Structure 1
Amino acid sequence: MPLVQQEFTTRSNHPPPGAAPVWTPQYGEWYSIGPGIWELLLNGERGSDKKSVLQWYDPGATSVTDEVITHTYIEEVCFIEGGLEDVTLGQSWSTGAYAYRLPGMKHGPYKASPHGCLQFVKLMPASE
């Protein structure tokens, strides 16, 4: 599904810490991408490298992998609440931080702060 014009006046609250996973949501619902990690699809298609999502990490949640992360698409991230620690770099990001990652950039894995982490994530194909 291509990106479409959309506007929201309020955002959906993220699931409470420890909520039961939702793997097949209805449109507009938060869905699980790993233990304690959730996404709300804002635009594009789930599983696509061309989408915009809100992503929520429960307090203390860790990435779905213990390995350093790389990908073939461009990723843009803006931290809205809480923060994440890149456990490989020993560096933390919090509210207001921004990242623009090119394909192949090494980052993560991550651990959420004691307050969790809410971030806006935009994925774009490298060819655009």
Structure 2
Amino acid sequence: MSKPELEFHLPDGPWHTPAGAGPGVEERVLADDPGHGSRTALVRWAPGTDSSAQGVARHDFWEEVYLIEGAMHDLTLGQTFTAGMYACRPPGMPHGPWTSQDGVTMLVITYPEPGPGAG
């Protein structure tokens, strides 16, 4: 199984709170391949969202994030990141926690670490 073949269209799937997400976080899945572990989603944080309760995040998959609108502040780095900025995080990379005073919308793409001999 792989992500579905989709030509240009207006995504209209529901916004929902992802498992383990804190208050104020919602996502709209654009394409998903649960069998392979790949996912593309729009993620939005409501104004005032604070992920401090979840602490520093680390996960076992690649994550690419492009900020579409708004801004988020990394409490560990003491830096604010704004629309147009991009991050590429390998598995295990620590990031966050975050706050977003005015809200933020981002494109998030996740995929697994390639296995031995892949590439």
TM-score range, shorter chain: 0.7 to 0.9
AA at the equivalent of 2:84: G
Larger radius of gyration: 2
Cα distance in 1 for partners of 2:25, 2:14 equals 14
Q: Does 1:105 align with 2:93?
A: yes
Deviations 1:24-76 (A, max 9, x none): xxxx1000133110000000157x84100000000111227441111110000
Q: Which residue of 1 aligns with 2:17?
A: 32
C-alpha separation between the residues in 1 aligned to 2:74 and 2:37? 22
The root-mean-square deviation of aligned C-alpha atoms, in Å, is 2.0
Give the gaps of 5 or more residues in structure 2. Answer: none
1:10 alignment counterpart: 10
* TM score, norm. by length of structure 2: 0.83
Which residue number corresponds to residue 117 of structure 1? 104
Question: How far apart in 2 are the matches of 1:31 and 1:105?
Answer: 26
Q: Is the 8 A contact 2:11 2:30 kept in 1?
A: no
Counterpart mapping for 1:1-128 below 5 A: 2-12=2-12, 28-33=13-18, 34-45=22-33, 49-63=37-51, 65-114=53-102, 116-127=103-114
Identity of aligned residues (%): 36
In 1, distance between residues paired with 2:64 and 2:73? 17
Structure 1 unaligned residues grouped into runs of 5+: 13-27
After the TM superposition, list the runs of 4 or more consecutive aligned residues in structure 1 that deviate by more than 4 angstroms.
none
